[in-house]
Amino acid sequence: MDGSVTVRDAMTRTYVGVTEGDTLAGTAALLVEEDATCAVVLRGREPVGVVGQGDVLAAYVRGDAERATVSDVMNTDVETVPPDTSVVAASNRFSGSVHRLLVTDGDELLGVLTERDILTVPQGSGSFDDEMRTSTPNYGEQGICEGCGTLTRSLAVADGLALCADCRDT
């Protein structure tokens, strides 16, 4: 290993697990109780999907939450990443629709890597900082505003900087 920060170093090892047949109302209560942003949907020990806070909220807004099950709203297009992947490489996998990566070693689910996990990697982590400086940036619509430092879904380049709407307006 070259000393760079890996997904294993940054991931959250504990996660909320639910099944496809669980009620959405029960899953919502579990997310609140565990202070979690998502639940991994398991079929036995195999991860088959993810239910995020947004999925639950959308079902409540539609009025479907009381009778819906997890299988009605879960996202089955789940991205996985091996634990020895560098955090920099993993961060390039996040996009407008990808907010979390399931960390797997073969068939075993080890944890979940979120955008927040990557943002909390300590500054000055040696080769992590070096790798971030030398990697080719993957500029998308979301990221950290270079003006104010907030995470935003709508960055645009202005005066050579990736800025949020508030910083572009000032």
Contact present, 92 and 136 (Cβ < 8 Å): no
The residue type at 41: V
Was 164 annotated as part of a binding site?
Answer: yes
Was 38 annotated as part of a binding site?
Answer: no
Distance between CA atoms of residues 99 and 113, nearest Å: 9
Distance between CA atoms of residues 163 and 155, nearest Å: 5
Distance between CA atoms of residues 108 and 12, nearest Å: 15
Token couple for 148: 């104010």
Was 145 annotated as part of a binding site?
Answer: yes
Contact present, 163 and 147 (Cβ < 8 Å): yes
At a CB cut-off of 8 Å and minimum separation 6, what does 83 contact? 6, 7, 8, 11, 103, 104, 105, 110
Q: Cβ atoms within 10 A of the Cβ of 156, count?
A: 15
Q: Which residues are annotated as a binding site for Fe cation?
A: 145, 148, 164, 167
Q: Which residues are annotated as a binding site for Zn(2+)?
A: 145, 148, 164, 167
Q: Which residues are annotated as a binding site?
A: 145, 148, 164, 167
